[in-house]
Amino acid sequence: MLLPFAHHGYISIVNALFTSTSAVCVTGLIVEDTAVNFTFAGQLIILFLIQIGGLGYMTLVTFLAVILNKKLNYNDRLILKESLNYTGMNGLVRFLKIVFIFTIVIEFIGSLILSIRFSFDMPLQKAIWFGIFHAISAFNNAGFSLFSNNLMNYRHDIIINLTIPILIILGGIGYLVLVELYYFLKYRILRISMNTKIVLIVTAILLVFGMVLLLSLEWNKAFANMSWGDKILAAWFTSVNYRTAGFNTIDISSLSNFSLFFSTFFMMIGGAPGGTAGGIKVTVVALAFIGVWYTLKGDENAHIFHRSISAYQINKSYAIIFIASTYVIISTIFLSEFEHLPFIKTLFEACSAFGTVGLSAGNGGALSFSALFNNWGKLNIIILMFMGRVGVFAFTIAIIGKSDKSRIKYPEAKVII
């Protein structure tokens, strides 16, 4: 991003790093106006980083190796398996090919629809570029836009308010779920897995709940001057974008503190594993709720859809939620202490960065709230974005290391709770 042909005027090293990290972590927070401060070449670099970030570096490298007929060794397959959140080693390369086909087809259809829509507002060549950019940005849950005010000019537009959210949802539910649904509709499999059921159900609940919550809190506030139809569209679009995509059709800073606070929970949750979304993931939250429910019932055998869930998975979910919350709280305290900016907006920005969402209360102009931070504050947000994209568990293990499994079992102790 520092290359002269990539930007207009001056751009600092920190701002260039921030933009690159935001793109490759498919976040969408900006400290430079994508539409104004970057040339076509710069925008193309951002789009390339978004695509790499959405698919995953290892996924892209492996796919190129497959195209060149290079054989993958066991370690390559193991890394690819972890990158895609694939359940086993069998059929891994075939699954990778299907992921690329799905990505190309979905992004092509999205680009076509958006290009046609934008062609009514701008020259055809520009409309095609805008259509491609926003389709890829949406499917990869990035939230980068070539409009300085994001998509606020299209708040009333049905096509934009359906196409962008559908692309976001398809990218956010994960490749495993997409492929499994495709096989199910083609009668290649007879039943949907528990993982897919959990992802679809929890995603639907969060989307509807977020929409209803926004309507109830903002009906006579941020949405006061809108028609009832626009209120529903705005609530729907914003609720979808809470799921780790940073597009907006309303001014997020106009939302009440109550809405900004509750939205942090949605942004922290994020999307599903193995997709383009970040956050702690819907499956983690689902397992945690299941664990709490059966604990309250006094039942040690947690289960759902006639399938048992191991205590390790539930405990791991608790750990992920605890560690993620700790990181965000510490970052928010750090930012609040040294930046001296409104707490709720700072918390919102930190959660948006960690969840790789990209929504922001803004700096009063076209940029994100992070633009008001000093270089140390921006570096803090960069770390949060990286952490949210890599995964809080993987990030923490990379720091502290993974201990060897102990074969010693100590006598069980009773602790009063």
The total number of structural domains in the chain stands at: 1
DSSP 310-337: -HHHHHHHHHHHHHHHHHHHHHHHHHHH
Domain assignment of residue 338, yes or no: yes
Distance of alpha carbon 318 from alpha carbon 307, whole angstroms: 20
Domain that residue 268 falls in: 4-400
| pLDDT tens figures, 102-150 | 889 999 999 999 999 999 999 999 999 999 999 999 999 998 999 988 9
Strands 303-304 and 307-308: antiparallel
Mean pLDDT of the chain: 87
Residue 270 clears pLDDT 90, i.e. is over it: no
Domain assignment of residue 378, yes or no: yes
Residue 182 clears pLDDT 80, i.e. is over it: yes
Domain assignment of residue 272, yes or no: yes
One-letter amino acid for residue 413 of the chain: A
For tokens 């690329």, the residue is 100
This prediction's pTM: 0.89
Distance of alpha carbon 207 from alpha carbon 64, whole angstroms: 36
Structure tokens at 42: 């710069």
Alpha helices in 242-374 (DSSP H): 257-269, 282-296, 311-339, 343-354
Domain assignment of residue 416, yes or no: no
Residue 248: predicted pLDDT? 92
Percentage of the chain surpassing pLDDT 90?
Answer: 53
For tokens 């046609």, the residue is 116
Residue 278: predicted pLDDT? 81
* pLDDT grade for 63, boundaries at 50, 70 and 90: low
| pLDDT tens figures, 349-396 | 999 999 989 899 988 888 899 999 999 999 999 999 988 887 776 677
Distance of alpha carbon 122 from alpha carbon 120, whole angstroms: 6
Burial label for 254, CB within 10 Å (0-12, 13-18, 19+), is middle
Residue 82 clears pLDDT 60, i.e. is over it: no
Distance of alpha carbon 92 from alpha carbon 76, whole angstroms: 11
Structure tokens at 64: 């190129």
Domain assignment of residue 408, yes or no: no
Domain assignment of residue 406, yes or no: no
Structure tokens at 323: 């560690």
| pLDDT tens figures, 152-161 | 999 999 999 9
User: Which run of H or E residues covers position 301?
Assistant: none
Residue 217 clears pLDDT 90, i.e. is over it: yes
Domain assignment of residue 107, yes or no: yes
Domain assignment of residue 417, yes or no: no
